[in-house]
Amino acid sequence: MSERPAIDTREAAAALSDIDQIAQRVRQSLVYRLASLMMVMWGALTAAGYLVSFVAPRYAGWAWIAVYIVGFAGSVAIGASQKASSGNNSTASTHDVARRIVALRSPNCR
């Protein structure tokens, strides 16, 4: 059995800095994903509302009410699905990433 060498303070600080940067990028990409899904959904609903207003102006009021209701429900559904898919165990996964980065930075583990 070989013993893993301990890393020094500078290497540990660099590893933690890398982890923080990765976590920030992941959070930002999740925000972009949520925003893009919402924009596409609201864009399609808005186009449908304008189409109904153009084709059947008599029903335009009801069409826009439906657009708002479907849009609100869709926004809630997208938000809930994104929250569920992001998982609640982010601390454990961050620690796992930290262990892997430290292992990669150790000179004897290559």
Among 29-33, 47-51, 54-58, 98-102, name the one with the lowest average pLDDT: 98-102
66: confidence class by pLDDT, cuts 50, 70, 90: very high
- Residue 108 near residue 18 (C-beta atoms within 8 A): no
Q: Which of 33, 7, 35, 24 minimizes the C-alpha distance to 104?
A: 7
Q: Which two tokens stand for residue 23?
A: 């976590």
Res. 93: pLDDT tops 70: no
CB count within 10 Å of CB 9 equals 7
Residue with tokens 């940067």: 21
Average pLDDT over residues 70-90: 81
Q: What is the dihedral of CA 14, 18, 20, 22, to 10 degrees?
A: 180
Rounded to 5 degrees, what angle do the CA atoms 29, 23, 80 make? 50
pLDDT of res. 109? 46
Res. 79: pLDDT tops 60: yes
